[in-house]
Structure 1
Amino acid sequence: MRITTLQGPAATPYLDDLARLRIRVFRDFPYLYEGDLAYERDYVSTYAAASGSIIVLAQDGDRVVGASTGIPMREETTEFQAPFLGGDWDPQQIFYFGESVLLPEYRGQGAGVRFFDAREAHARQAGFSLCCFSAVLRPLDHPLRPAGYQPLDAFWHNRGYVHHPELSTTFTWRDVGQHEKSAKPMSFWLKELPA
């Protein structure tokens, strides 16, 4: 598995791959996302267009099997910026990590660590003092929660991220098997970056 870091328009040839990966991986619990390719293409194009963004690809030969993204918070949507406005956090100093998606058969080989390493290094070099990401909150008794499901909280804690449930937002999408979109609570994890 080869890891490649791209910025801006250099990522454009891979946007369809990233859109399809998001749909495939986020279909599983906890996101249960019934994806829409047109929406996904539009969403991921933000990362190619945004100043200061990063896309980290995992490839097996020419096949894209995983990807991870990051963008300055000031270039994110209102939903993601809102929890940081008017409080103790300066969105201008925050680098937001979008998704990390990896096909199941490639997990456990270190790609997740490399995704975080690459995005943190990029954020530090760009002068950001904080990085963060958000994760969906699902009830423990959710009927589609797989037996033995383990959230990634321990991995995130080990990387130095702190959960801030008071920093929350909602995002709307259609769950697998549902006809209507519904709002999902998302909460943030933050890490201070050394100077």
Structure 2
Amino acid sequence: MTVTTRVLTGEALAAALEDVARLRIRVFRDFPYLYDGNQDYERDYLRAYQSPGAVVVAALDGASVVGAATGAPMADHAADFAAAFEGRPEPLDQIFYCAESVLLPEYRGQGIGHAFFDAREAHARALGLTYSAFCSVIRPADHPGRPVNYRPLDDFWRKRGYQPLPGVIAHFSWRDLGDEAETEKDLQFWMRHL
């Protein structure tokens, strides 16, 4: 499989958001997110990418979008995420938020995850930002939905220079698979200097 990545901003980004929504719904169904998503929720959530500093990095197999990574200046993203940085020394207007990275399973292990981070970090530098951050959901080690062969991505993130920020936890709600209602989840922030 030959996969290429393309950085999208402006109108090209807006045109890709339906693909991002489709991929989020599909990929985030798996552990650790267990997300029971729908298009209406996705459309509302993805409005954050109307920011002029937003980016989508699309992974393409021919004309098919098989993965996507998103990002935007933290100051332009959901207040739930920015609130986690209250009391931190880094100014919000200097942090780029690497939001989701979603890639279909059959395309993993080919370096696309690195390409996603490389492109978003380059975009953040071009915007003049100093830090890059993302968050990941916290699930207990004994969670009943955890697959036996599950491997967290902590080593991958550390090799890229990211470290977890002690106590910097976002709170965000979504409906887990099999649940009737949304429940609040804790998400650990990781960050690196660019």
TM-score, normalised to structure 1, is 0.96
Q: Decide whether the 8 Å contact of 1:12 with 1:45 is kept in 2.
A: no
Structure 2 gap ranges (5+) = none
Q: CA shift at 1:24, angstroms? A: 0.2
Aligned residue runs from structure 1 range 7-156, under 5 A? 7-47=9-49, 49-156=50-157
Q: Decide whether the 8 Å contact of 2:175 with 2:183 is kept in 1.
A: yes
CA distance in 2, matches of 1:114, 1:82: 29
Q: CA shift at 1:118, angstroms? A: 0.3
CA distance in 1, matches of 2:15, 2:159: 34
Aligned residue runs from structure 1 range 146-185, under 5 A? 146-185=147-186
The CA deviation string for residues 85-117 of structure 1, in whole angstroms up to 9 with x for no partner, is 333221011000010000000001111000000
Read off the aligned partner of 1:144 and give its amino acid letter: G
Q: Decide whether the 8 Å contact of 1:15 with 1:45 is kept in 2.
A: no
The CA deviation string for residues 16-40 of structure 1, in whole angstroms up to 9 with x for no partner, is 1110100000000000000011111
DSSP 3-state at the match of 1:108: coil
DSSP 3-state at the match of 1:43: helix
CA distance in 2, matches of 1:83, 1:122: 23
Q: Decide whether the 8 Å contact of 2:48 with 2:78 is kept in 1.
A: no
Read off the aligned partner of 1:18 and give its amino acid letter: V
CA distance in 1, matches of 2:108, 2:166: 27
Read off the aligned partner of 1:9 and give its amino acid letter: E
CA distance in 1, matches of 2:175, 2:186: 13
Q: Decide whether the 8 Å contact of 1:6 with 1:55 is kept in 2.
A: yes
| CA pair 56-82 structure 1, distance change in 2 beyond 3 A | same
TM-score, normalised to structure 2, is 0.96
The alignment's C-alpha RMSD in Å is: 0.9
CA distance in 2, matches of 1:46, 1:129: 21
The CA deviation string for residues 121-142 of structure 1, in whole angstroms up to 9 with x for no partner, is 1111111110100000000000
Q: Which runs of 4+ in 1 moved over 3 A?
A: none
CA distance in 1, matches of 2:174, 2:143: 17
Q: Paired residues, what number?
A: 192
Name the % identity: 52
Q: CA shift at 1:43, angstroms? A: 1.8
Q: CA shift at 1:84, angstroms? A: 1.4
DSSP 3-state at the match of 2:149: coil
Read off the aligned partner of 2:179 and give its amino acid letter: Q
Read off the aligned partner of 2:148 and give its amino acid letter: A
CA distance in 1, matches of 2:136, 2:97: 12
Q: CA shift at 1:9, angstroms? A: 2.1
Q: CA shift at 1:51, angstroms? A: 1.3
